[in-house]
Amino acid sequence: MPLNFRFAIISDLHIALPHTIWDSGDRFHLVELSIPALESVLASLQALELDFLLIPGDLTQHGEPENHAWLAKRLAQLPYPVYVVPGNHDIIEQQPTPQSIGADDFLAHYQLFGYADTNYPYYVRNVLPGVTLIGLNSIAFDQTGKQLPRGRLDAKQLNWLEETLATVTNRTHTDSTKDIVLVMLHHNVLEHLPGQAQHGMGQRYMLENASELLTLLEQARVPLIFTGHLHVQDIAHHQGIHHQNLYEITTGSLVSYPHPYRVLRFEQDDSGRSQLTVETERVSTVPGWNALQHLSREWMGDRSFHFMHRFLTLPPLSLSPAEATSLAPSLRYFWADIASGDPDFDFSHFPDPARQYLDPFSSGDRTTGQAIDNNTILMWDTPLGLTHLAQKNRKVE
């Protein structure tokens, strides 16, 4: 039977009960809105008859036991299955502390959301007939149990993944079709910003051994990865061996401008031709924040100077502090526009080399120039997993 299913993505919830909220001063995200924003989204999703919901990490503000407990209880009330993976804010240290849960506690909290019947922080689930979801754990710790600054999949997990992909991709149904395989993890696998893997501020959002993961996914012809962590709306493309295409869809944070979530529909015809329609929605109001989009963008702009100053002075641009001080005010909304997806910048008035460095941050497909980060249709011209993945743009409303 041709596949036809609908699912949603909400990322980086940073759930914080009021008594747990603490303020770091310059934070971009509004954890004060985490619970009302989530309730707003869940109310909107209620009428959509979803087949499942994906949450790619940063479920809580900072791993607090009461915040994990609240979220697990709330997700258990939903009428559709939910699948989660841990983010860097969910398991701060490998062992529990008075302030945060440990790695084993995460599995216990979220048994209903992917981790049933597993003793490992990763899983494989047949979420629908013909649809397999693999949830990976990209949170790594040093020998003392402290979280490492970058994501990583250890050798044991990579070996498990290789065996799992071999089993899933070799499985053939009675109609000679194979499962579509979806992969979810917290850290970015592909670059979502120019030079992200080399920049000191961008590389920490990426999987340190992304190339090892990509090799396995290419061999298995996996077409889609879902990530979070970066707090931006972006769809990145990778063409691997045998010219097959892989897309990574990263979703911005629910508590950070523009407070997005995604609704996706996968459709397949009798010949096996498939398409994934990606639509982005945004939370526009919560109690006390009726003009949330405007106020949140200004919140981010008000806190942008030091962020942009550091961005400009670090390699590879390496401007002097004086040059960065001069340019940073003009970049007040730079990160807000990046986070919103499909940014269209004009840096013609900037001096070189700043202009040359910043110009590539304008978005759109690198070959067609089409806006694809928020609303798009990804089309497979041939049966899923074979040769060519085409892309059709949808107008952004």
pLDDT 10s digits, 311-340: 999 999 999 999 999 999 999 999 999 999
DSSP string, 139-197: --B-TTSBBPSSB---HHHHHHHHHHHHHHHH-B-TTS-B-EEEEE-SSBSS-SSTTTT
Mean pLDDT of 75-79: 98
Q: Which tokens sit at 19?
A: 């008594």
**d(C-alpha 62, C-alpha 12), whole Å:** 11
Query: Does the model's pTM come out above 0.85?
Result: yes
- 112-142 in b/e burial notation, b at 16+ Cβ within 10 A? ebbbeeeeebbbbbebbebbbbbbbbbbbbe
**289 exposure class (CB count in 10 Å sphere: 0-12, 13-18, 19+):** buried
Residue 113: what pLDDT?
A: 98
Task: Tell me the β-bridge partners of 5.
Answer: 266
Residue 171: what pLDDT?
A: 76
**d(C-alpha 96, C-alpha 36), whole Å:** 28
Mean pLDDT of 77-94: 97
**d(C-alpha 16, C-alpha 58), whole Å:** 11
**d(C-alpha 369, C-alpha 388), whole Å:** 19
> Would you place residue 388 in the very low, low, confident or very high pLDDT band (cuts 50, 70, 90)?
very low
- Least confidently predicted of 128-142, 169-183, 310-324, 353-367: 169-183
pLDDT 10s digits, 124-143: 999 999 999 999 999 999 99
H or E stretch including 390? strand 389-393
> Would you place residue 170 in the very low, low, confident or very high pLDDT band (cuts 50, 70, 90)?
confident
Helix axes 292-302, 304-313, angle to 10 degrees: 50
**d(C-alpha 11, C-alpha 14), whole Å:** 9
**d(C-alpha 206, C-alpha 152), whole Å:** 9
Residue 276: what pLDDT?
A: 95
Residue length of the chain: 397
Mean pLDDT of 183-195: 97
Residue 371: what pLDDT?
A: 83
**219 exposure class (CB count in 10 Å sphere: 0-12, 13-18, 19+):** middle
Residue 23 φ then ψ, to 5°: -115, 125
Q: Which of 265, 243, 257 is nearest to 291 (CA)?
A: 257
Helix axes 155-170, 210-219, angle to 10 degrees: 10
**d(C-alpha 71, C-alpha 14), whole Å:** 10
**d(C-alpha 314, C-alpha 341), whole Å:** 23
Domain boundaries along the sequence of the chain: 4-284+373-393, 303-361
Q: How far does Cα 16 stand from its chain's mean position?
A: 20
pLDDT at 196 over 60: yes
Q: Which tokens sit at 281?
A: 């929605």
Mean pLDDT of 156-169: 96
CATH architecture of 4-284+373-393: 4-Layer Sandwich (3.60)
Average pLDDT, the chain: 91
Contacts of 36 (CB under 8 A, 6+ apart): 286, 287
pLDDT 10s digits, 289-317: 999 999 999 999 999 999 999 999 999 99
Residue 368: what pLDDT?
A: 57
